[in-house]
Amino acid sequence: MIRLVLGGEKSGKSDLAYGLFLHAPGAGMVMAMGQARDASFRRQILEHRLRRDPSVPLVEPGTDLAGALARAHASGSNVLVDSLDFWAFQTLSDSGLPADRLLQSLAAFEAPESPECILVSCEVGLGPIAPSSLARRFARELGALNQRLAALASDVRLVVAGLPIRLK
């Protein structure tokens, strides 16, 4: 089963997704996509780590998220990917996002008796129009990816001010 949890910055989407992850049957792993590039974000990553069970394996797949998902599925592990916007930022190129490869790796999680894959992503469609062409391009690419993921997912939720809304 694929679940998608969307929300804005500091909306509570990661907490909701982690709760869903903890209730999934079987073992699992967390795939952390953010990379600390400043002190503020290092603190935010540390806060996330301190809230998680230290016995749950943590993987940092970088740009090879599709490969990491394929390996996790083959091992029968549930997966929490937090957060796809960081992956999108890292992989955005002149030709767009490598979304097709990611979606192909996620398709395996749709099969009956598959482990769960819980994806977290920022909902970019609620903010103002970005002032730079690069920021607008990022928002368009991530918005398009979120739409494709929502179509694929069995369960889609939007988190606003810590309150989850079931969309699908």
The least confident of 32-41, 65-74, 99-108, 114-123 is 32-41
CA distance 144 to 152: 13
* Confidence category of residue 52, pLDDT binned at 50, 70, 90: confident
**Residue 109: strand, helix, or coil:** helix
Q: Which domains does the chain have, with CATH numbers?
A: 2-128+138-159 (3.40.50.300)
53 neighbors 90 (Cβ within 8 angstroms):
no
Spatial CA neighbour of 65 closest among 42, 90, 28, 36? 90
35 neighbors 86 (Cβ within 8 angstroms):
yes
73 labelled catalytic: no
Q: Which of 3, 48, 73, 157 is catalytic?
A: 48
- Tens digits of residue pLDDT in 119-143: 999 999 887 888 899 889 999 999 9
